[in-house]
């Protein structure tokens, strides 16, 4: 978000500069392989409006959420979860036998 607030960000989807007062966000940096087709959208600023109409949005969100469930689990069994509109929230995944409401 610092890049957006500083007025130094360009949308990874449309290429237009993002003004600090616009509804925009930076996706989590979760891909290291630059050969991955989603790599350029990882740790990337985007207008939320562009993200919402992006034809690959559902696949991108599903990919992030699958990785987060497996690799980003905290000590309290929570992990980040991206909503369909790009917001991040915490979800809990309880290990087998411990119960929970997840």
Parse the chain into domains and list their residue ranges: 2-92
Contact 50, 14 (CB under 8 A): yes
pLDDT band for position 102 (cuts 50, 70, 90): very low
Q: Which long-range contacts (CB under 8 A, 24 or more apart) does 81-86 make?
A: 82/28, 84/57, 84/58, 85/48, 85/51, 85/52, 86/25, 86/27, 86/46, 86/48, 86/51, 86/52, 86/61
What is residue 12's predicted lDDT score, i.e. its pLDDT? 97
Q: What is the mean pLDDT of residues 83-102?
A: 76
Q: What is the mean pLDDT of residues 25-35?
A: 92
Q: What is the mean pLDDT of residues 10-33?
A: 94
Task: Answer yes or no: is pLDDT of 101 > 60.
Answer: no
Q: What is the pLDDT of residues 35-81, one digit of tens each?
A: 999 999 999 999 999 999 999 999 999 999 999 988 888 888 899 99
């Amino acid at each position: 978000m610092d890049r957006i607030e500083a007025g130094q960000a360009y949308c990874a989807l449309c290429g237009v500069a993002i003004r600090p007062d616009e509804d925009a966000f930076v996706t989590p940096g979760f891909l290291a392989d630059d050969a991955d087709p989603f790599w350029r959208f990882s740790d990337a600023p985007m207008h939320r409006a562009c993200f919402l109409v992006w034809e690959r949005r559902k696949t991108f969100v599903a990919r992030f959420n699958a990785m987060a469930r497996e690799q980003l689990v905290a000590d309290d069994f929570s992990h980040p979860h991206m909503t369909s509109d790009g917001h991040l929230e915490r979800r809990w995944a309880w290990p087998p036998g411990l119960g929970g409401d997840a």
